[in-house]
Amino acid sequence: MPEQLNTRVEDCYQLAESFFKRSFKRPVVSLKLRGQKAGVAHLHENKLRFNPQLYRENTEHFLKQTVAHEVAHLIAHQLFGDRIQPHGEEWQLIMRGVYELPPDRCHTYEVKRRSVTRYIYKCPCPESDFPFTAQRHSLVRQGRRYFCRRCRTTLVFSGEMRVE
């Protein structure tokens, strides 16, 4: 776990404790998040997960905004309970009042998408092209059948694959 990340989480908690004049239970922090999300707060487990790739590529902004964003979710939950909106008034109060940051709901980090192979299935209809995922293609190979909604014939693998 990068030391800067742990330090920023602790700093956010200390700011909240100073602002609200009470203590808060510290979360478990991990860098086990992939995909498009920069961070996730698991409210009932008191856990924070961060995306290591987005952290590495956007370190300065990530530490300032994303960490505070996720910590604010846990603080809001501990203060106000379950019945609040994720990015509602309470969370926004913490972002603005405690961290003096804009209550941005989403990050604008560039996310690199991995390429995906599509298996092209066809039917007798003109210009029929049905791109199947690897999982669906595997199900067909195991005996599952899929049908065209127009002509109701079984879709057949064309032997063609496309990388997207």
Query: 148: burial class by Cβ within 10 Å (0-12, 13-18, 19+)?
Result: middle
Would you call 10 helix, strand, or coil by DSSP? helix
Check the annotation: does 87 bind a ligand.
no
Residue 42 annotated as binding site: no
CA distance 23 to 13: 8
Q: Which residues are marked as active site? A: 70
Binding residues for Zn(2+): 69, 73
Binding residues: 69, 73
